[in-house]
Amino acid sequence: MQRILIVDDDESMRGLLRARLSDSYEIIDYRQSRTSFRAGLEHKPEAIFLDLMMPKFSGFELCQSLRSVSYTSRIPIFVISGEAGITHKKHCEDLGATAYFEKPVDFIKLKGNGCRNSHQERGTQSACPCPHADHPENPRN
């Protein structure tokens, strides 16, 4: 089972992401972005789901740090934020984020985008673990 790292200081959001994604992925979640940087190195996730507005070390800083290390530079980073607007989205793209999702999250779109981009950025051709039937890379199609 593929592993996903979730970084969000909001326990309810981490719980929601765990509940919606744990059927397809092994979930590792962290509340603090500083400790999650090490987790990105230790746990070797297939993707990282990241909040932007966190105390001490923001999601912007974590995204930039993860992109600056060769080992984590190819891991897809999906920003999930309550911050609407093109400014934050553009800044995340400039830092190397794979995609930007505004809260409330469309989980079907998130799962499909996460799976597709994970394979593209990693250069793998393996079957997609996404559970929804209409996803083009779903092995059941």
In order of their start, the domains of the chain are 3-122 (3.40.50.2300)
> Mean pLDDT, to the nearest integer, of 7-29?
93
- Of residues 21 and 113, more confidently modeled: 21
Predicted local distance difference test score (pLDDT) of residue 67: 94
From the number of C-beta atoms within 10 Å of its C-beta (0-12, 13-18, 19+), residue 9 rates as middle
- Amino acid identity, residue 90? K
- CA atoms of 61 and 140, how far apart (whole Å): 39
Q: Is the model's pLDDT at 102 over the cut of 60?
A: yes
| pLDDT tens readout for residues 46-93 | 999 999 998 888 899 999 999 999 889 999 999 999 888 899 999 999
**Which residue from 111, 31, 123 is spatially nearest to 75, judged by alpha carbons?**
123
- CA atoms of 85 and 34, how far apart (whole Å): 26
- CA atoms of 54 and 37, how far apart (whole Å): 14
Mean pLDDT of the chain: 80
Two tokens, residue 81: 């934020």
- CA atoms of 113 and 129, how far apart (whole Å): 12
- pLDDT interval class at 114 (50, 70, 90): low
Q: Is the model's pLDDT at 95 over the cut of 70?
A: yes
Predicted local distance difference test score (pLDDT) of residue 120: 53
β pairing state of 99-102 and 47-50: unpaired
